[in-house]
Amino acid sequence: MLLLLLPAVTVAQDVRYVSGDQSVPLRGGAGDDYQLVHRGIPAGTRLTVARTSDGGLWADITTEAGETGWIPTEKLLVEMTVQPDMAAIGMTEEATEDSGAAAIVADADSTTDPTELANQIDTCEAEFNSVAQELHRLKQVSGKAEQLDIDNQRLVEHTENLRSEVEMLQAENHRLLEKVESEDFMNGALAVLLGVIIALVAPRLVPKRRKSSSWA
């Protein structure tokens, strides 16, 4: 019995991360037919897998915020993908500036030739400008990636809203069809009943002819 329980404990402590560039909807069961319990778990979110469905296509997860539900196992990663860190880029830029200034000061202390010093300063400035341009490009790429993630999340939410509206319309259409069928059945039954009543009452309304007497 202990051996049978060990795999369940291991699965309950299995840590995964949401993959992809967009948010993943969280459902109340293992399948797209189940109701949404969360419109989208952001990519890179750390979560715990409690169990998987019979076919292994869906996983029952719990986020660090306490949200629970089912998402496709194909959207899970063992390790989180490293994203561009704006703070790290800023620190790198500051470190580059400091190192460039320190190099200039060190070179100024080690030589007294103005021409050589000017050449070294020009070289350091060129390297600094190159690094600054690369950092600026990385910032632009990172900003576009963040905007794309926001746009993708909005599209996912809009798609899920449309899907919910379609499901509601289908349910309402089904209800109306049942109502129409019920009304048709009642109308048919009333027509039959009216026909029976007419068939029974009509002969009594028609006056009977008197039989001619043989004495007349």
pLDDT exceeds 70 at position 166 = yes
| Residue 155 resides in a domain | yes
Residue 66 lies in a domain: yes
46 within 8 A of 17, measured Cβ to Cβ: yes
Is 80 exceeded by the pLDDT of residue 150?
yes
> Among residues 32, 48, 77, which one ends one of the domains?
77
In a domain, 202, yes or no: no
Contact yes or no for 157/39 (Cβ under 8 A): yes
Which residue would you say has higher pLDDT here, 179 or 207?
Answer: 179
Instruction: Tell me, yes or no, whether 67 and 104 share the same domain.
Output: no
Q: Which domain holds residue 63?
A: 10-77
Within a domain: 127: yes
Q: Tell me the pLDDT band of 4, cut-offs 50, 70 and 90.
A: very low
pLDDT of residue 61: 94
pLDDT score recorded for residue 86: 47
Which range (48-57, 114-123, 139-148) has the least confidence?
Answer: 139-148
pLDDT digits (tens, 9 = 90+) for 184-214: 888 888 888 888 888 888 777 766 665 555 5
**CA 72/CA 83 separation, integer angstroms:** 22
Domains identified in the chain, total number? 2
Question: Domain of 43: which CATH number?
Answer: 2.30.30.40
Supply the mean pLDDT for the chain: 78
The pTM of this model reads 0.35
CA separation for the pair 47, 7 (Å, rounded): 18
- CA dist 40 and 25 (Å) reads 4
